Chain A
């Protein structure tokens, strides 16, 4: 794991690489228009449609085929809303449409994590300090050991187990992420700040719980139980799926981690290089990319977080070609292979590291 340290560019060569990536960004951003808007409207229509259809079918949920179809549609709707719509809208990818409903700084997604906290922990912390151990809190989310550079602690022995708890409750993990309990314990953050955030999470999650676990079941009257079960299942399916996609983005074999020193005084080109080396793509068909919110194009997403995500697939080959010319790796693999390499990493890093031989 991480045995081969990939080449890193420096100086003029690094700047040349950065300029090519920047030129690509400008080319795409200046070509945005009607086609992109039409794409997003189609996705919005599908998301609304699958939700309306799914919830309607669940009202007939005592019929097993209706329950299965309803749960499937509602799961698809929740995945689309969180990944292809919410996550991307909140990155400001669609701000240029000038549509009040799709503004990155005000959009609320169907997730128990308040959008404002997400914008801080994800858009700012994770996308700025990507894979810098000690700064990017997405490296292990404060509860897991995902890099050799993280110090080992006996609690990590159990991470192959609680990893699955995190997967099943992923949206709750995401919600608590920005509270940074570890920082509260080490007194780098006040209890009052954390409490304020917890109250916001409470307000936000109460609305989802009320809607999915109380109001819609009550509306179904005698069919309340199948509706409740369907809604719980849809939230679970979305949790598992988004967990899997996100863990495949930064933790498979071949992805680099960085120290704070390595990132110090970094230019924009250096930042581009770190985004590239710290991310990994998933290969798949068009539907797979849409259902992953195009996070399957994690590399392109990290290079261009505010570019409408459906363009990533189009420019992927060009990014890969630039990387090839500069001798930089372009991590990519099938979903199954990448996911198993993530699980392997979780289990390997859970063990206490062997004391290093001093003179290797």
Chain B
């Protein structure tokens, strides 16, 4: 059985990629200065770039009322992914660029890159995808990232996933199927309602052609749907998959499911599951109302009042500043995350990876500043 690995493809650039990189050289940079070579390449075609991975949206498909799959045709810089990896997607929402991580759902051999994205109530990017993304839109991508990969060899697998946590599993199954590998896999997929179940038909087709694949859907909130097993428990798992302890576990889903499965793996005495966490990482700020100046590893009490600039100065730092009244922008600093109050308007807003004028912003909660 041929081992599947695209890592070689990811490391050595293709000839097309090398050609694009060569467009940015000493001469073209001197001709483009002070702009970048890419500024001109993009004038001819927005997908052209010497280095950046850009992609065109070629299909937008509604999977469930809250889940959309977008198919992307990337430019030559896309190095190919390995099943289970994710990518940082950058889209524009009302003119503003935002980036979020999404797991890749397509198989390694597929010509188009597919992302299956669940829209969250507060999710800026996921809602933009659900509500406004159209064929022909352009997006930017990072290189594929992540170490949540198919285990090497041909040992039996147990995939446990919840909601859109099924996407990396789908990528793995699609990759195996396309390579003609009939590895022994059990997929246990939790979904809240029947309408929210993903890839039901595709999984049925796959299982029909692939005798050693078992796909078990568990509906947690509706009676009469799926296996109706309710939420995950070790007993339920042992009933569904008697040889669970003999398999390598793979896990992806919401925090509650992740914690329950990790716990169960300890009780069952199996190796800790390979897993991918989906949650947004909580702000890396220590304490309530505390300002953390990350670069100098100094903290200040936000309660004591004053602008971020004043707090930094009181903490012994010497940030750059100019007018100290919000005009000249000399004091702008990168804020990793936090709640800030605009001292000119009193408006409080949440900031994530943004430059902020520290002379006219005060902390309104925990804030982490790159100073």
Contact = CB atoms under 8 A, between A and B. Distances in A.
B205 interface: no
Contacts of A210: 30
Interface string B11-28: 000000000000000010
Contacts of A207: 30, 33-34
A225 B355 CA distance: 45
Contacts of A42: none
Contacts of A101: 36, 39
A86 to B, nearest CB: 9
Interface in A127-174: 127-128
Interface stretch (B64-72, B223-231, B252-260, B325-333): B325-333
Interface string A52-96: 100000000000000000000000000000000000000110011
Interface stretch (A28-36, A257-265, A281-289): A28-36
B316 interface: no
Contacts of A26: 345
B31 A271 contact: no
B239 interface: no
A200 interface: no
B31 A211 contact: yes
Contact of B95 (A32, A108, A128): A32
Nearest to A95: B355
Given A45-B43, A211-B31, A34 B323 contact: no
Given A45-B43, A101-B39, A110 B34 contact: yes
A98 B97 CA distance: 5
Interface in B37-71: 39-40, 42-43
A105 B33 CA distance: 17
Interface string B316-359: 00000011010111101000000000001100000000110000
B38 to A, nearest CB: 8
Which of B31, B33, B345 lies at the interface centre, i.e. has the most chain A CB atoms within 10 A of its CB? B33
A109 interface: yes
Contacts of A49: 43
B92 interface: yes
Contact of B329 (A34, A35, A97, A123): A123
A22 interface: yes
Contacts, number: 93
B34 A34 contact: no
Given A120-B330, A207-B30, A271 B43 contact: no
B152 interface: no
B95 A305 contact: no
A48 B40 contact: yes
B3 interface: no
A98 B98 contact: yes
Interface residues of A, number: 45
B355 A110 contact: no
A335 B201 CA distance: 70
A96 B332 CA distance: 12
Contact of B322 (A95, A99, A104, A128): A128
Contact of B325 (A33, A37, A128): A128
Contacts of B31: 211, 215-216, 219
A96 B40 contact: no
B30 A97 contact: no
B329 A96 contact: no
Contacts of B95: 32-38, 97
A123 B332 contact: no
Contacts of A38: 95
A311 interface: no
Given A22-B344, A52-B43, A110-B35, A103 B355 contact: yes
A33 B95 CA distance: 5
A271 B97 contact: no
B325 A98 contact: no
B96 A128 contact: no
B33 A119 contact: no
Given A215-B30, A268-B325, A92 B92 contact: no
Contacts of B329: 91-92, 95, 104-105, 119, 123, 306
A196 interface: no
Interface in A97-127: 97-99, 101, 103-105, 108-110, 119-120, 123-124, 127
B34 A33 contact: no
B344 A98 contact: no
Contacts of A109: 34
Nearest to B342: A26
Contacts of A37: 92, 95-96
Interface string A177-190: 00000000000000
A37 B95 CA distance: 5
Given A22-B344, A123-B322, A128-B325, A99 B332 contact: no
B94 interface: yes
B96 A96 contact: yes
A289 to B, nearest CB: 21
A49 B39 CA distance: 11
Contacts of A215: 27, 30-31
A208 interface: yes
A45 to B, nearest CB: 7
Contacts of A123: 322, 327-330
Contacts of A119: 328-330
A107 to B, nearest CB: 9
Given A52-B43, A97-B96, 5 more contacts: A34-B95, A36-B95, A104-B332, A123-B328, A306-B329
23 contacts: A33-B95, A37-B95, A37-B96, A44-B39, A92-B329, A95-B355, A96-B96, A97-B97, A99-B97, A101-B39, A103-B355, A104-B329, A105-B332, A120-B322, A120-B330, A123-B327, A124-B327, A128-B323, A128-B325, A128-B327, A207-B33, A268-B344, A306-B329
Interface of B: 27, 30-31, 33-36, 39-40, 42-43, 92, 94-98, 322-323, 325, 327-330, 332, 344-345, 354-355
Enumerate the 5 nearest inter-chain pairs by beta-carbon distance, A residue then B residue, closest first: A37-B95, A124-B322, A108-B34, A124-B328, A92-B329
